């Protein structure tokens, strides 16, 4: 047996994210918020539009960095959480590869992207395919899966980089296809930062 | 009345909805990093973009709820806004005011507490997201179009104050 994404998603999707008496949602060792996807997309597109041509790359990198740090910290909280241990760990039979599959199942269950690993060369390269992701809802004329990119690099780091919290920045992720630019799915390729791009 | 929250999950697209609006869970790392990013690009209007994005994206949720539940009293509308803020995990808020001015206090804040957890206290306020939310909430309460209210954060949990305070003024 290996991690079956749809089984994990259905079990984890029942978790109700609603603020407690303090208006906060503490979970997975972080504070969670549950905001309209429109907010994140609007912010991303407006920031990109505000950047002049010579600063677009700087803005892209900064947007991706937000997701990378989020994915690294929250990803670690996820894979060490009781929920993950209860639901995913019993299906783990292929070590780090299966933990990654489980992380993408949670990624999917949280509503970030209906995604999974299409190809993997352990510790070296991973191709992630997303059949539906909220960042594709805006059509700005360029690929804008910055969140999926940042989190994918972070997840691969958690699986194959230095042990948390000493890893990070071991891997980078590029988007090569995007539903927001007319492709049938989004495709994201993770490679080592010290490999030729 | 108390806010009613209906959370649904589409098991075809695997998307979540809150009272019919597509929502997504994120963490304080992402939100505080987005806030810091806005400040990093201050010369491009980052803080304003963050606040206005919050105002524009949250206003439809508030308007929709108010309309569907037939809520006409501005104080009730402000109360719904406070309860929505808490339900989506952004903190605990108390608001009062009229169509000309108002004030809001936060005793708990996802963004301020998240910032302190991540980087510690800082001397200046930075809760631009909540400024935008408050503008949306007052706009919805008093039937005003977007950008009708200026919101200024006067003191802040992130600076060690016992609560955050925002002043609201009609433009």
Residue numbers of the domain that contains B162: 28-170
pLDDT band of A72, cuts 50, 70, 90: very high
Q: Work out the percent of chain A whose per-residue pLDDT is above 90.
A: 64
Residue identified by tokens 């005011």 is: B97
Contacts of A179 (CB under 8 A, 6+ apart): A130, A132, A133, A136, A185, A186
Of B24, B40, B114, the CB nearest to A40: B24
Decide if A8 touches B, using CB distance below 8 A.
no
Q: What are phi and psi of B158, to 5 degrees?
A: -70, -20
Number of compact structural domains in chain A: 1
Contact assignment for B53 to A59 by CB distance below 8 Å:
no
Q: Is residue B96 part of a domain?
A: yes
Subunit contact A50:B31, Cβ cutoff 8 A: no
Three-state DSSP state, B73: coil
Instruction: Assign residue A49 the CATH number of its domain.
Output: 3.30.1380.20
Dist CA B161 CA B109 (whole Å): 12
* Contact criterion met (CB < 8 Å) for B23 and A31: no
CB A130 within 8 A of CB A184: no
Give the closest of A24, A34, A59 to B108, CB-based.
A24
Is A18 in Cβ contact with B15 (below 8 Å)? no
Question: What CATH number has the domain bearing residue B106?
Answer: 3.30.1380.20
Query: Does some domain include residue B12?
Result: no
Confidence of residue A88 (pLDDT cuts 50, 70, 90): confident
Note whether residue A197 is domain-resident.
Answer: no
pLDDT value at residue A152: 96
| B73 within a domain of the structure (yes/no) | yes
What is the C-alpha separation between B146 and B154, in angstroms, rounded?
22
Tokens standing for B118?
A: 């991540």
- Nearest CB to A46: which of B28, B49, B113? B49
**Which residue, among B151, B116, B123, B121, has the nearest Cα to B32 in the 3D structure?**
B116
Contact B30, A124 (CB under 8 A): no
pLDDT of residue A197 exceeding 70, the answer is no
A window 138-197, beta carbon within 8 A of B: none
HSE value, Cβ hemisphere, 13 Å, CA-based, for A137: 19
Q: Is the ipTM of this complex over 0.90?
A: yes
pLDDT in tens, B113-163: 999 999 999 999 999 999 999 999 999 999 999 999 999 999 999 999 999
Q: Is A115 on the interface with B (CB under 8 A)?
A: no
pLDDT at A190 over 90: yes
Domains in chain B: how many in total? 1
Tell me the pairing of strands B15-18 and B7-10: antiparallel
- Do residues B149 and B135 make contact, with C-beta atoms less than 8 angstroms apart? yes
Q: Which two tokens stand for residue B16?
A: 């979540």
What are the pLDDT digits (tens) for B14-39? 899 999 999 999 999 999 999 999 99
Give the domain extent around A53.
5-192
- Around Cβ A109, how many Cβ atoms within 10 Å? 25
Task: Give the model confidence (pLDDT) of A123-150 as tens digits.
Answer: 999 999 999 999 999 999 999 999 999 9
């Amino acid at each position: 047996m290996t991690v079956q994404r749809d089984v994990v998603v259905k079990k984890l999707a029942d978790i109700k994210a609603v603020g407690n008496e303090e208006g906060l949602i503490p979970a997975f060792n972080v504070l969670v918020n549950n905001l309209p996807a429109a907010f994140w997309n609007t912010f991303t597109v407006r920031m990109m539009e505000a950047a002049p041509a010579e600063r677009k790359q700087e803005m892209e990198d900064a947007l991706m960095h937000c997701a990378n740090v989020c994915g690294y910290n929250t990803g670690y909280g996820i894979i060490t959480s009781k929920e993950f241990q209860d639901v995913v760990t019993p299906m783990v039979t292929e070590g780090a590869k299966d933990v990654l599959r489980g992380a993408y199942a949670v990624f999917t269950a949280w509503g970030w992207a209906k995604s999974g690993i299409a190809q993997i060369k352990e510790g070296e390269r991973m191709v992630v395919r997303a059949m539906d992701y909220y960042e594709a809802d805006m059509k700005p004329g360029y690929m804008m899966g910055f969140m999926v990119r940042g989190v994918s690099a972070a997840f691969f780091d958690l699986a194959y980089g230095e042990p948390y919290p000493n890893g990070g920045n071991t891997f980078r992720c590029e988007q090569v296809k995007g539903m927001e630019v007319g492709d049938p799915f989004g495709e994201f390729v993770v490679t080592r930062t010290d490999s030729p791009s | 009345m108390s806010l009613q929250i209906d959370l649904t999950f589409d098991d075809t697209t695997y998307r979540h909805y809150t009272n019919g609006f597509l929502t997504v869970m994120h963490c304080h790392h992402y939100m505080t990093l987005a806030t810091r990013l806005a400040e990093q690009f201050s010369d491009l209007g980052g803080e304003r973009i963050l606040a206005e994005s919050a105002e524009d994206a949250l206003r439809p949720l508030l308007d929709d709820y108010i309309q569907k539940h037939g809520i006409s009293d501005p104080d009730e509308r402000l109360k719904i806004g406070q309860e929505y803020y808490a339900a989506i995990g952004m903190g605990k808020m108390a608001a009062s005011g009229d169509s000309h001015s108002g004030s809001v206090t936060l005793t708990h804040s996802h963004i301020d507490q998240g910032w302190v957890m991540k980087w510690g206290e800082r001397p200046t306020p930075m809760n631009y997201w909540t400024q935008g939310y408050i503008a949306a909430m007052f706009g919805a309460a008093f039937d005003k179009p977007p950008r009708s209210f200026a919101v200024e954060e006067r003191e802040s949990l992130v600076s060690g104050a016992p609560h955050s305070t925002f002043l609201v003024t009609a433009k």
